[in-house]
Structure 1
């Protein structure tokens, strides 16, 4: 009868499902011979273990940067004589001016001088025109130019005469003018690299001796 045929088909599908499940368990379980698969199939729920595929470690060495000695030997920070020209750095100066104006929210005549000074202490001065106004070494006084390199203890500037000058920060006071606003910088407070100075907290002092 039709019912009998349906029963046979249903039983056949059940056997197929059972065979498939047993095969799947054998494949999924480590060392299936240690388990009673028939007993496991009698439970309603069965938790299977899952192992994430291991990621292959990339082989290769991390690129190492140059040390201080190698940089000196390769003259990484040396400005070639043909590039020691004042006019070449004027575009850098214009970029610096706009950077400072934006940093100081317009640098208006009504700006608070102390607030501006605090921002300048942490600013990047590459491109600024600086002038030595006081120094324990009289030969530095009056020297003016565009700051092209700043190191921990010295400023390197290009003068209008296309001369590269190295000015020690310590024992010198520098003047910086932006839109009529003149700020004096004590070099002893700038004896940090530009990247370190941006994160440093400066204490307010009444006077600073050269």
Structure 2
């Protein structure tokens, strides 16, 4: 029978004595229990940093609360379902977009500069990266004959199509593929007068753009570099 344990004997020594010989139990208890160091880790910051720790915890809670209250942005599918990009029927008026067209004329004259008089590759490169919201365009050639002659102001320049509001206050969706658009830019006439000086009249420069070359979103075209190359569709 096991010797009766002493009242002041540790519980670890009592359990070891039941499983091992007395000498072995004493050795294990002395080497692995009694002489083993016990490392203590602080469970709270020092008193000097307690105020800073509480402040950091409060700021963290505030940030989490702000993230929970901040609404997530709408996805492209949700925007289309809500019709955020659609022109309402009450707003499909040509006269409503004429001021936008005047702003676009000033914008395109500024980006073309002297290329507005000469045209060529320089003007083509600048027009390829231009924004056509507000441009007055006319369909001159198209794979669908019924689209030829559509004329109005561009109210939406999407990736694959132009939405054009006509003078009859109707919005027409014209795909860019297989379509040639024409637009005019009034520029000051630099021809000299007969009596000297320059004429103040405005002359109209006519440009034609091929829709296949503009099958990018207007925001993507602004940061995209275009290279001149031969197109098989032209």
TM-score norm. by structure 1 comes to 0.69
Give me the whole-angstrom Cα distance separating, in 2, the residues matched to 1:188 and 1:100: 20
Question: Runs in 1 of length 4+ with deviation above 6 angstroms?
Answer: none
Match of 2:145 in 1: 138
Deviation readout 1:95-144 (Å, 9 max, x if unpaired)? 000111111226653x4432122111101110001111111111111111
1:79 aligns with 2:87: yes
Q: Relative to structure 1, is the Cα distance of residues 74 and 115 closer, same or farther in structure 2, using a 3 angstrom cutoff?
A: same
Deviation readout 1:6-51 (Å, 9 max, x if unpaired)? xxxxxxxxxxxxxxxxxxxxxxxx79xxxxxxxxxxxxxxxxxxx9
- The CA deviation at 1:208 is 4.4
List alignment gaps of at least 5 residues for structure 2.
1-45, 187-203
1:163 aligns with 2:163: no
Match of 2:224 in 1: 200
Q: Relative to structure 1, is the Cα distance of residues 208 and 158 closer, same or farther in structure 2, using a 3 angstrom cutoff?
A: farther
Q: Greater CA deviation, 89-98 or 195-204?
A: 195-204
Which structure has the larger Rg over C-alpha atoms?
A: 2
1:92 aligns with 2:100: yes
List alignment gaps of at least 5 residues for structure 1.
1-29, 32-50
Match of 2:38 in 1: none
Match of 1:19 in 2: none
Match of 1:68 in 2: 76
1:121 aligns with 2:128: yes
Give me the whole-angstrom Cα distance separating, in 2, the residues matched to 1:75 and 1:206: 38
- The CA deviation at 1:70 is 1.3
Give me the whole-angstrom Cα distance separating, in 2, the residues matched to 1:112 and 1:184: 11
Give me the whole-angstrom Cα distance separating, in 1, the residues matched to 2:180 and 2:116: 24
Match of 1:190 in 2: 214
Aligned length: 162
1:178 aligns with 2:185: yes
Give me the whole-angstrom Cα distance separating, in 2, the residues matched to 1:150 and 1:112: 23
